[in-house]
Amino acid sequence: MQKKAVIIQDISCFGKCSSTVALPIVSAFDVECALLPTALLSAHTGFPKFTCFDLTEEMEKTLLDWKALSLSFDGFFSGYMLSDKQASFALDCLDSLVKRDSLVLVDPVMGDDGKAYAMLNESFGEKMRALVSRADIITPNLTEAALLLEKPAVLSGYDESFIEETLFGLQKLGCKIPMITGVSFEEGKIGVAFLENGKVTYVFSKKHEGVSCGTGDTFSSVLFGALLSGEKTETAVRKAVHAVEKAIENGVKKYGIDFEGLLSLKD
């Protein structure tokens, strides 16, 4: 039977990120997707000007309606949230609508470049750690990993022992398989490190210059779809890393990478 997944992310009306990336990619794995949107943005936050409409009240109403419909999901994938209240709704969704043996992937969107996002406060951090404790997979960047562990962010000059110590620290929060994105030990290579069954594995690809909006969303979405389809962790990670690299090679524009080329039905 076709699997169903709930995706909790914002809607950016223009720009390639969050739900406008996750929905088509996860659907391409023959997964029926339901969206629980956290905010409506005119364009993603990488643009100099954008509007942001908070959908917290609508999240609550949507969850009530879904419960009345007795919906249930085989997968849970969360990303950008505006507040600790929204994170509480994500936990409610996980408790009430997601099957016990479902795949739970949490992308703890909390910060980047060594800085926390504006919505992050002590309460939000506590709720995100509670969500992380319920996850099968988490995909923080180095900044977010530090925020989860309540430590200063280290973005360069680290070695494998630092990454491995960080992964074991993240696992102690309760998640089964912690990952760290944006790991790089040498010029020209960037990738992902993950901890599974006591072993740390690294998957690298070519590092392209410049900022490519949507790379993290593309990675997490392909990873989630592949895992929900039954792929082993390392196979799914390699598939996701390769997809990001191919999307960048297909074309990089101001508003994101060409992930659509991965899904084309033309010809």
Phi, psi angles (nearest 5°) of residue 176: -80, -50
**How far is residue 196's CA from residue 170's CA, in Å, rounded to a whole number?**
12
User: Is this prediction's pTM over 0.85?
Assistant: yes
Q: Residue 16 gets which letter from DSSP?
A: S
Question: One digit per residue, pLDDT tens: the chain, 267 residues?
Answer: 899 999 999 999 998 889 999 999 999 999 999 999 999 999 888 788 999 999 999 999 999 999 999 999 999 999 999 999 999 999 999 999 999 999 999 999 999 999 988 767 889 999 999 999 999 999 999 999 999 999 999 999 999 999 999 999 999 999 999 999 999 999 999 999 999 999 999 999 998 876 667 889 999 999 999 999 999 999 999 999 999 999 888 777 667 788 888 887 765
Q: What span, in angstroms and rounded, lies between the C-alpha atoms of 240 and 131?
A: 23
**Which distant-in-sequence residues (6+ apart) come within 8 Å of 158 by Cβ?**
none
Quote the strand ranges of 98-241, DSSP E.
Answer: 98-106, 111-112, 115-116, 137-138, 177-183, 189-196, 199-206
pLDDT of residue 18: 93
- Any bridge partners for residue 206, and if so which? 189
Pair 191, 241: CB distance under 8 Å: yes
Strand, helix or coil for residue 2: coil
